[in-house]
């Protein structure tokens, strides 16, 4: 049976994640408050950020940047797209 949660990102009841997708307290909060649909939206946004900013995921600063953007996207203002970003057709 699917675990239902009140998703803070989508502001509706939706299917919860099957496992904690990120370590630590932030991961626990994501598991408890973010739906599968909202998590998929984050993964798409994250991919765009990595590509547009040409982030090297071996760089600790890049990982810190993405962690902060993840919090913004999921729990606050929704995160921002890079200046001049044009989505693919």
DSSP 32-52: HH-BHHHHHHHHHHHHHHHHH
State which residues form the domain around 67.
4-75
Supply the pTM of this predicted model: 0.88
In a domain, 83, yes or no: no
Question: pLDDT value at position 83?
Answer: 72
Which segment of 2-16, 35-49, 70-84 scores lowest on mean pLDDT?
70-84
3-state secondary structure of 72: helix
Q: Which of 31, 9, 34, 35 lies closest to 22 in space, CA to CA? A: 31
Structural domain includes residue 56? yes
2-11, 18-27, 70-79, 80-89: least confident range: 80-89
Whether residue 82 is contained in a domain is answered as: no
- pLDDT at res. 78: 72
CATH of the domain at 27: 1.10.3880.10
What total number of domains does the chain contain? 1
Would you say residue 88 lies in a domain? no
């Amino acid at each position: 049976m699917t675990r239902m949660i009140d998703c803070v990102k989508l502001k509706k009841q939706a299917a919860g994640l099957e496992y904690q997708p990120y370590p630590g307290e932030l991961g626990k909060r994501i598991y408890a408050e973010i739906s599968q649909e909202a998590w998929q939206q984050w993964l798409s946004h994250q991919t765009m950020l990595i590509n547009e900013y040409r982030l090297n995921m071996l760089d600790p600063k890049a990982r810190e940047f993405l962690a902060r953007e993840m919090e913004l996207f999921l729990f606050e203002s929704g995160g921002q797209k890079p200046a001049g970003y044009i989505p693919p057709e």
